[in-house]
Amino acid sequence: MDQSNIHPIELTVQSIIESPLENLNIQLQRVTDSQFLLISILKNYELKLKKYNDLLSTNNDTKEMIKNYEKRINDIKLKLLEISLKLKSVNESIEKNLSSK
């Protein structure tokens, strides 16, 4: 459109609101950039929290495994004690039989 075809009032209104609109556009762009930055930061925190949660989960699994191993070790100790007592009894019987001959 040719500049001469634009009405003077329209030119006046345009000159009055052009600067505030430009400022508004700049501020909106800053907000958009800030949102992008915040989203990036939040995404990083989310990933860190997920890793931490995975680590805690693994830690709990490890604790459970350790408890199971401790129980198994205690069971084995009890069986060894039983076997030891039986062997002692068998040895005593053998010694008794040998000494009586």
Mean pLDDT of 52-57: 87
pTM equals 0.49
User: pLDDT at position 2, please?
Assistant: 57
Compute how many other C-beta atoms are within 10 angstroms of the C-beta atom of residue 59: 10
Question: Could you give the CA distance from residue 94 to residue 99 in angstroms, rounded to a whole number?
Answer: 8
Q: How confident is the model at residue 38 (pLDDT cuts 50, 70, 90)?
A: very high
pLDDT tens figures, 57-97? 888 888 899 999 999 999 999 999 999 999 999 999 998 88
Total domains present in the chain: 1
Range of the domain at 92: 3-100
Q: What percent of the chain clears pLDDT 70, i.e. is strictly above it?
A: 95
